[in-house]
Structure 1
Amino acid sequence: MNTSMQPIGLFDSGVGGTSIWKEIHTLLPNEATLYLADSKNAPYGQKSKEEILHLSIKNTELLLNQNCKLIVVACNTATTNAIKELREKYDVPFIGIEPAIKPAALQTKTHTIGILATKGTLNSVLFHKTVSSYTNLNIIEQVGHGLVQLIEEGKLGGSEIDKLLQTYLKPMMQANIDCLVLGCSHYPYLIPQIQKILPKEVKIIDSGLAVAKQTKTILEKYGMLNKTIAKQKQLFYTNAKPNALATLLGNKYTILEKDF
């Protein structure tokens, strides 16, 4: 069966994974996509591994029921807590997203990097396994308490987010980081505010482009790349707060609110 015309599925604990979707859509404009924003259950970062796995299975099955040929887990917390089980359970390629520690390790000159992520990501077995291989680095971990909730409410600027970012980033600057890894797909939307706080020599690193490139690689590997030039559908489903999704997408795409 020719699967190339089937959509790429993506899911996240809300709207943040659209930062990943944008990179994929830019690199692969001929691909149809279907995005699930599980905003009703955001944030995943405060939930148990069992809850995260349950929600990830629910989202995966919704996407598979829509004939998605590949699934991007556009959520660091879901990737680090559930992707192993998803790959074992379903016969479809999965692309995950993890904090980009390796690029930071290759670029740092001070050997000190900061990681801003959710509690669920920083506490995960996969994250600890990754970090343990970088014994030569001083890694400053910080949970971004409250940031996802504010982004889900469409508050991308203003004093609330600025105050939280100042609190989280100040100890990192004092520790002399020269790379900041954004370990949550929501956080790239905060880059303009982060840049105002950090010294300009600190590199801000997220995983979006790397995920897009890996998606293309896997589609090519399995012969699923859509090589037509016809315009494809870009669909977005959300179970809460459709206005936040519309704000981030610029009201250019079809957003459907449904219960899932």
Structure 2
Amino acid sequence: MADSRPILFFDSGVGGLSVLAPTAKLLPHAPLVYVADSAGFPYGTRSEAEIAARVPALLGRLAERYDPRLIVIACNTASTIALQHVRAALDVPIVGTVPAIKPAAEQSRTRVIGVLGTKATVRQPYVDDLARRFGDDCTVLRYGSAALVEIAEAKLGGHNPDPERLRAELDGLFMQAQGDRLDMIVNACTHFPLLEDEMAAVAPHRVTFVDGGPGIARRVQHLLEGQTWPDEHASGRAVFTKRTAHTDALAPALARFGLSATESL
């Protein structure tokens, strides 16, 4: 019999859909469970201690309930803070999400790149290490935005992003010293690729956005190579740790990502 265990994606909100989508393209028969910790949202304004305690405990409950063959922490903040704790606690393959500084540095011509994430992510020593290892000859600008997370959530709930709000957040990078030379922006929050077209339209000059979604999808495919899947094209489910009017409004968008059922934890 085919193995029906799912791949489980975890984020504080809907940002991890930007990681789920490329994975689903590579593994169209894989059963998918997408979990949004709506009761803990947003992670970017929480303390490191809160996230380090909350994420492993919650993923332990989810692993018991859904018996995933692999878990993707599709959240930069949770990954940079809690990934090692989750791996120590669970006997399940875990794939984390890290800022795509390496490909940004490889592609940059001006040698000025931006890291756009949550405040919790951009201040992590892990980001310092990535910048030192892969962008040592680059100027790496950083900006933490809670507003972009909220805008991305609202967009999937059916509200068009306000260009002026987007422009104001991007100014957090472009108005820094050497921001006028910026040619690459790392979307270091999985929510932000959901706004990529709108951000590109209001940027003061042409810039290329990069994120870790495609690379994570290839990593998942590699780790699960040779495993069996159900014969039919898989449908997925979305799980929320707290049901609200906002989570209910997300149903049409979730269906577009192949998540036809929703439930609460």
Using the size of structure 2 for normalisation, the TM-score is 0.87
Cα pair distance change 1:156/1:132, threshold 3 Å? farther
Q: Is the 8 A contact 2:109 2:183 kept in 1?
A: yes
Offset of residue 44 of structure 1: 0.4
Instruction: Find out whether 1:189 has 2:194 as its counterpart.
Output: yes
Offset of residue 10 of structure 1: 0.9
Cα pair distance change 1:85/1:245, threshold 3 Å? same
Q: Is the 8 A contact 2:174 2:182 kept in 1?
A: no
Offset of residue 22 of structure 1: 1.0
Offset of residue 181 of structure 1: 0.6
Offset of residue 7 of structure 1: 0.4
The CA distance in 2 between the partners of 1:207 and 1:118, in whole Å, is 15
Quote the residue 2:237 is aligned against: 235
Offset of residue 256 of structure 1: 2.4
Secondary structure of the 2:4 match is: coil
Query: What amino acid is aligned across from residue 215 of structure 2 in structure 1?
Result: A
The CA distance in 2 between the partners of 1:22 and 1:98, in whole Å, is 17
Offset of residue 175 of structure 1: 3.5
Quote the residue 1:138 is aligned against: 139
Cα pair distance change 1:242/1:130, threshold 3 Å? same
Quote the residue 1:25 is aligned against: 24
Offset of residue 204 of structure 1: 0.8
Which stretch has the larger CA shift, 87-96 or 98-107? 87-96
Where does structure 1 lack aligned partners over 5 or more consecutive residues?
none
Q: Is the 8 A contact 2:163 2:202 kept in 1?
A: no
Cα pair distance change 1:244/1:94, threshold 3 Å? farther
Quote the residue 1:148 is aligned against: 149
Secondary structure of the 1:42 match is: coil
Offset of residue 247 of structure 1: 4.4
Offset of residue 71 of structure 1: 0.2
Deviating beyond 6 angstroms after TM superposition, the runs of 4 or more aligned structure 1 residues are none
The CA distance in 2 between the partners of 1:112 and 1:54, in whole Å, is 35
The CA distance in 2 between the partners of 1:197 and 1:150, in whole Å, is 15
Cα pair distance change 1:90/1:250, threshold 3 Å? closer
| Pairs within 5 Å for 1:1-260 | 4-65=3-64, 66-133=66-133, 134-153=135-154, 154=157, 155-159=159-163, 161-171=165-175, 174-198=179-203, 201-220=206-225, 223=226, 225-238=227-240, 239-240=242-243, 241-250=246-255, 253-258=259-264, 260=265
The CA distance in 1 between the partners of 2:168 and 2:261, in whole Å, is 30
Offset of residue 244 of structure 1: 4.7
Q: Is the 8 A contact 1:118 1:183 kept in 2?
A: yes
Percent identity between the aligned chains? 31
Q: Is the 8 A contact 1:11 1:37 kept in 2?
A: yes
Q: Is the 8 A contact 1:99 1:206 kept in 2?
A: yes
C-alpha deviations, 1:87-146, integer Å up to 9, x for none? 122111111111100001111111100110011111223222222223211001011132
Secondary structure of the 1:226 match is: coil
The CA distance in 1 between the partners of 2:148 and 2:170, in whole Å, is 12
Using the size of structure 1 for normalisation, the TM-score is 0.89
Offset of residue 37 of structure 1: 0.8
C-alpha deviations, 1:17-36, integer Å up to 9, x for none? 11111111111111001111
Query: What amino acid is aligned across from residue 73 of structure 2 in structure 1?
Result: V
Which stretch has the larger CA shift, 32-41 or 148-157? 148-157
Offset of residue 226 of structure 1: 3.0
The CA distance in 2 between the partners of 1:106 and 1:244, in whole Å, is 39
Where does structure 2 lack aligned partners over 5 or more consecutive residues?
none
Cα pair distance change 1:116/1:69, threshold 3 Å? same
Q: Is the 8 A contact 1:39 1:152 kept in 2?
A: no
CA RMSD of aligned residues (A): 2.2
Secondary structure of the 2:168 match is: helix
Which stretch has the larger CA shift, 146-155 or 43-52? 146-155
